[in-house]
Structure 1
């Protein structure tokens, strides 16, 4: 398999010297314990997402479900801000881990062990997500407690950072840039971690009334510094554009899958009696809306953006990966989380309304959350399309002003009508985009199919030669 085939068009000479050197010599870069004693394996162009990385992402399925449950308890503005801060902090952890897996092979050397440990820490931190303004529950007398509940999240955050440093330190034996990039980011990451610990300490001294505002202020500072690290420090090189795009596509799939789970939990179709037309119709509309959002990303846009990544190299690729994927995919995922909260609440209301003599309107902040989630997702997707492909996506641009205009009045709409209207607007935008850009879409589809066939043929040839 040629080096060009490995990365679907990547010029290896523009990558790091060590990575290009390994590929030019035709070596398969495995666990490099035998090469200068490094306990990790360097990634190479053409790297694919491993099953181990898919397994790691299962903990983020739990995270999405848990954040959804936390957000659904209180849908006021302050609660939504707190939810976004929690989401943004977890996103920093996931995106750094995705970048780590793009530079070091996730299934080689010590990386599986580090991945399992990070997975466990993420699970614990999510299971004990801070409840802003409220003291966490205390154990019964005589029951040992490892650390106070409010310190669990910052402690896990710190330990994850240390584990990433251990992995990069191992990779630095083969490529010094891996170690240097971590040290450059250390001061800002340390400051971010300190603020998370202060968010756990200071509220005890300010009283209960000011605790929530104090915690949120510290979290804004911590998360802000974390993202400042992305903007002010030189990121690691994105070695495999295909791996990078696939990882972020998978996290969008996870978020969409969580929204289907929320829709099912809200509808509770197995126990609703009778299965009324509004309930079944609402469930079908919810599925149609989720499928429409899937189409806006995965139909051809994700592939076209990946091709731009393949054609971009060096520092320009790193900046493109940061802007289009790390930064713009966060509001996409957050928008889908809000969508799932809104769908769950909407379906629950339809059930009550059709089984009892309930109100004909949703309570405030139910449909607005649903509309706001779709609006945020489409705005971020519009930015993603503009940053990668360099044009305005009509499928995103057309529904945005309509949804934005309806948002202030969404709470006045009946539940079923509001959901039907939102779904119709979204699908109409996709239909117009499909007609206007049919030539471009047809060309990209042919290219994608030709690439798939070429890669399948190359893989079959390799397997025949190595039976």
Structure 2
């Protein structure tokens, strides 16, 4: 049977995040910075749709690679080399983000396709001799990925009116494949139950990505502050950016992050829980953090601006982040965190007021909501007698 002779599967119970995985993550600091800059420069319905497509593509490449390094041992030389190669392809994607719906559509599409197809093909080859079940699963994934890849390439060949629907269709192919188990005629579908998943590893990897997204926000805000002339409004906006990031960190890491690994280990269907909580729900959380940086830049660059576009730029991020946090905790603990739910309700109220108030005033109100949610989360945890995470 063709395949890698050396067994590179991750040992059961090996939960440690490898340094090469952290190196892979470094590329995504740049990718998220480019993405937030794109979203800020295109604050229109079309720009929001394009940004959503790019966010999904960037997130999909990262989270799919995380599943691979949860199965294979990154300390093994072939796996380490593959992760470094995937990091280079992700860098090419990141470089092309700002012109992905323009002159660099080809670069973005080819890098994305090479990363997705190459990763799945490597998994088939690496596991063929050592775990035929996983190898067969990735053959199914590879076939679906190849189908979606044709749409990515076709979209890059065509002008924007055709590129958009084709790239949306390409994402839908991969998302539907994930939801349905990548079914193939006479070959069945992927069965996550037979995968030896490490809940602790996936939980830690995802929490590290959330940290990267928060760091990207501070990076963007810092550069924006440096580019503007010093003023009282700019100082207040920068303070709001930092406090909002700190509050978002507190909401995610005070309690919720730690319970993820525990819930996966207890679950009767860890694969399905992991896929839903960390692949799907975290897309909202990460998207919310990216949009937080867009709102920070709005308050720094246009503190007096009013209107719908300004209000949405400032409130979309907190809303998505809190909504994702509510869904995440609901899945893990079978309960709805009241503080986050109150925040989900409060943010649209702030958005309505922000249409008429200035961007800086809206930023202050949003920051206050996040701080109150963080305080409520901690008060609830202490009342239950649970220890803090992070």
Distance 1:368 1:415 in 2: 10
Aligned to 1:259: 217
Is residue 197–residue 270 contact of structure 2 (8 Å, CA) maintained in 1? no
Distance 1:323 1:53, change over 3 A: same
The CA distance in 2 between the partners of 1:130 and 1:406, in whole Å, is 30
Note if 1:307 corresponds to 2:250. no
Map of 1:59 onto structure 2: 27
CA distance in 2, matches of 1:346, 1:85: 25
Secondary structure of 2:12's aligned partner: coil
Q: Distance in 2 between the 1:106 and 1:75 partners?
A: 40
Task: Indicate yes or no: 2:345 matched with 1:401.
Answer: yes
* Greater Cα offset, 319-328 or 360-369: 360-369
- What residue in structure 1 maps to residue 326 of structure 2? 382
Instruction: Look up the match of 2:70.
Output: 102
Root-mean-square deviation (CA, aligned residues, Å) is 2.2
Aligned match for 1:180, one of 136, 143, 159: 136
Per-residue CA deviations over 1:142-197 (Å, capped at 9, x if unaligned) read xxxxxxx4322222223222243223421231111221111122332122111111
Whether 1:325 and 2:268 are equivalent positions in the alignment is no
For 1:232, the equivalent position in structure 2 comes to 180
CA apart distance, 1:444? 3.8
Match of 1:276 in 2: 231
What does the per-residue CA deviation read over 1:296-326, in whole Å, with 9 as the maximum and x for residues that have no partner? 110111101221112125xx10000000001
What TM-score do the two structures reach when normalised by structure 1?
0.76
| Counterparts of 1:279 and 1:235, CA distance in 2 | 53
Describe the SS at the equivalent of 1:128: helix
Instruction: Say whether the 8 Å CA contact 1:256–1:294 is kept in structure 2.
Output: yes
Classify the secondary structure of the residue corresponding to 1:443.
coil
Aligned counterpart, 2:52 = 84
What SS class does the counterpart of residue 300 from structure 1 fall into?
A: helix
| Cα distance in 2 between the residues matched to 1:330 and 1:60 | 14
The 3 A distance-change label for structure 1 pair 153 and 238 is farther
Distance 1:167 1:133, change over 3 A: closer
Cα offset, 1:373, TM superposition: 0.9
Alignment of 1:56-455 (within 5 A): 56-129=24-97, 131=99, 134=102, 136=103, 149-160=104-115, 161-201=117-157, 203=158, 211-233=159-181, 234=190, 236=192, 237=195, 239-268=197-226, 272=229, 275-313=230-268, 316-350=269-303, 360-362=304-306, 364-440=308-384, 442-445=385-388
The structure having more radius of gyration, on CA atoms, is: 1
Distance 2:98 2:225 in 1: 28
Partner Cα separation in structure 2 for residue 130 and residue 416 of structure 1: 27
